[in-house]
């Protein structure tokens, strides 16, 4: 995140993180769904996705 903050000209990475937190959560949910599909061939992806969105 420090690299992204520096490229955007933000002195503090927290500024960048607050601005892009929604993208981080979306990526976590997408990764959780992909992991669940790989592990559970029976379509249990919604359980893992729900866990990712709660954290």
Q: What is the pLDDT of residue 7?
A: 92
- Cβ atoms of 40 and 49 within 8 Å: the answer is no
Q: What is the pLDDT of residue 39?
A: 81
Q: Mention every residue, 6+ apart, whose C-beta is less than 8 A from residue 30.
A: none
pLDDT confidence band for 55 (50 / 70 / 90) = low
Q: What is the pLDDT of residue 41?
A: 62
pLDDT digits (tens, 9 = 90+) for 1-53: 789 889 999 999 998 888 888 787 888 888 888 888 888 765 555 555 555 55
Q: What is the pTM of this model?
A: 0.45
Listed residue (23, 30, 31, 25) closest to 54, CA to CA: 25
CA 30 vs. chain centroid, Å, equals: 7
Q: Could you give the angle at the alpha carbon of 20 between the alpha carbons of 15 and 22, nearest 5°? A: 135
Ordered by start, the domain boundaries in the chain are 22-55
Q: What is the pLDDT of residue 9?
A: 93
């Amino acid at each position: 995140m420090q690299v992204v903050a520096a490229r955007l000209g933000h002195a503090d990475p927290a500024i960048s993180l607050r601005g892009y937190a929604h993208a981080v959560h979306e990526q976590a949910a997408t990764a959780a769904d992909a992991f669940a599909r790989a592990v559970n061939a029976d379509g249990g992806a919604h359980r893992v996705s729900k866990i990712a969105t709660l954290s």
